[in-house]
Amino acid sequence: MAKEYKGIIASTGIAMANIFLFTREEIKINKDKISKDDIASQTDKIKKAIDSYTKDLDNRKDLSQEELKIKEAHKELLSDPYFIDTISSKISEELKNAELALDETVKEMVAVISGLDDEYLKERADDYKDVGRQVMYKLKGIIPKDLSKLGEKSIIVSKELTPSDTSNMDKENVLGFATDLGGKTSHTSIIAQTLDIPAIVGMRDLSNKIEGGEFAIIDGNLGTIIVDPDEKTIDEYSKKLKEIEEKKKRLEEVKDREVRTSDGKKIEVSANIGNLDDLEIAIKRGCDGVGLFRTEFIYMESDHFPTEEEQFEIYKKAAIMLEGKPLIIRTLDIGGDKGLNYFEFPKEENPFLGYRAIRLCLDKVDIFKDQLRALLRASAFGNIKVMLPYVISVDELLKTRKIVEDLKDDLREKNIAFNEDLNLGIMVETPAAVIMADKLIKYADFFSIGTNDLTQYVLAVDRGNDLISNLYNPYNPAVLRAIKHIIEESHKAGKWTGMCGQFAGDTKASKLLLGLGLDEYSASSNKIAEIKDILLKSNQKEEEKFANKILDMEDAKQAEESVEEHNK
């Protein structure tokens, strides 16, 4: 008999397969006290366990952007002095064995984070638990169960899936997953979105109601999983899956087409990437170029500040791979929630508004020069454009232009080739950049709108806080008016504006953005064909009339509902 269970949507989509029930072995913690003579051996034991897991992380290659974030988050925790010192103190001062010291330390850290008001930060408790479990496996010599070799297409059901579980899972055979625990901002949920598979979290005690092997349908659009569905339901979902497959075929046909609207406006649909593997996928999916190369991942994957030569080789390869298509490379955007193991950031009350991005680069000029020089040299091999993040003033742009001109003089003296007309633009993501757009565009060759930060700063809404998540909405007329203003100012100056924030990948907004005058969309690779399909069937002048109506509305709900109705 069919049973339906509901949870929180973490990633949309539909899948049908047998359930694989993933359970984890219970770990019994040794609670025996040790003698003073055992302190050295127990301390050495925990050190070796941490080193062993760190080595495992270092050996993980060819990771997606999200998997790389997980890897770096775990490495950061493993090298955190508080984590190591607390364990060591429990061993040396409280005479607790390595297992107990580790277990207590992790539980204390998890309790502190779980008690925070910020939902996004609370989700980071998963990382602490995961790191603790992985190090405990090393201590106890346990080879953990994993999802790396499933053998058949499956829907995973589990009490919880850790970041390690999802990083190592058999991506060919996992069609979707449902977990008792977890939130929609967890790493696990984000990986599901990256893989474009349905995922439902917060299903309470689903794993206790499942035996494993049951046939099921997971509907990530509705947040439901149907176990042992009847024939009628299977037929209904089979038709939905067929429609999805037909849409995929249609998108396959349009993905490589140049986009011109029915009234002739040319639009570029580009990709956001973090490494060369992402670029390879983007090219296969029909990108017109790259609208955002997140270079921070080059730094995060290294154990030192990448040298000019190391960076040059990566940028050069990317430019060659694109064969003349635009490659917009964002300069180092580190700080806020993105750290480096080999660089100590100052302690700040609010790092998101602090020492980060262009501010750090203009302070650490030698690091900035290495990157800019590498970019200049690589520009000889393709259509590279440089984009500066988190700009708030003309002064930051002019200082960077002066550094670039000095580097050009040096390269000319040494007869090293570069593109004399290298474009330098800015990522518009602060209210200051919106207000000063008319001045900034005098010195910038282009704008690209970063809607993630722009939305939260225009609305004064923390995008990671679930308590006010309903207020974080790029359809808010305040955000839309900001977008319109940015585009208008660039067009007045005879220049162009793209968008590389998540809003560009929201296909519901594609026609609206066309009406606002956007020249380039840059999104995750799996959105490229769908955006092209929508724009090829659209008329820019007609969408402009609709966009003007939306700009005149008074609240986000009204605007979003009107957009949804318009798209039908």
Give me the active site residues, please: 187, 500
- As a whole number of Å, the end-to-end CA separation of the chain is 36
The alpha carbon of residue 40 and the mean position of all alpha carbons in its chain are separated, in whole angstroms, by 42
Residue 204 in tokens: 């309470």
Distance CA 331, CA 71 (A): 22
DSSP annotation of 211: -
DSSP annotation of 325: S
C-alpha pair distances (Å), 153 with each of 175, 311, 364, 537: 7, 39, 50, 36
Q: Which has the closest alpha carbon to 517: 483, 565, 475, 560?
A: 483
DSSP annotation of 24: -
Distance CA 382, CA 419 (A): 9
DSSP annotation of 400: H
Tell me the one-letter amino acid at 560.
E
Distance CA 522, CA 288 (A): 9
Q: Which residues contact 87 (CB under 8 A, 6 or more apart)?
A: 46, 98, 101, 102, 105
CA dihedral (506, 469, 12, 429) positive or negative = positive
DSSP per-residue letters across 244-294: HHHHHHHHHHHTTSPEE-TT--EEEEEEEESSHHHHHHHHHTT-SSEEEEE
SS3 51: helix
